[in-house]
Amino acid sequence: MLLVTATDITVWILSALLALGIGSAKYAKWKARNQLVRELAAMDRERREKMLSRMNPEQAMEARQELMRRFNIF
């Protein structure tokens, strides 16, 4: 027979909460990036370049790649 102890249940609950936390953080990051790319696509070219030059180089490169992939901009 299987015996489920309180320790097992506690570990399962903590694992589920950790998975939910990680998933919600990834979703929030994706949502914020998606919103940024949409805002950049709506801007005129000069303003977009100014915004991208102020960003972290790694994030700016990601944003440029998304603009190319989704909106064929640049």
pLDDT digits (tens, 9 = 90+) for 31-69: 999 999 999 999 999 999 999 999 999 999 999 999 999
Higher-pLDDT residue of 2 and 34 is 34
| pTM, to two decimals | 0.72
**pLDDT score of 74 more than 90:** no
Give the integer Cα–Cα distance in Å for 50 and 27: 27
Whether the Cβ atoms of residue 67 and residue 74 lie closer than 8 Å to each other: yes
Confidence of residue 1 (pLDDT cuts 50, 70, 90): low
Residues with Cβ < 8 Å from 74, sequence gap 6 or more? 64, 67, 68
Q: Encode pLDDT of 4-36 as tens digits.
A: 899 999 999 999 999 999 999 999 999 999 999
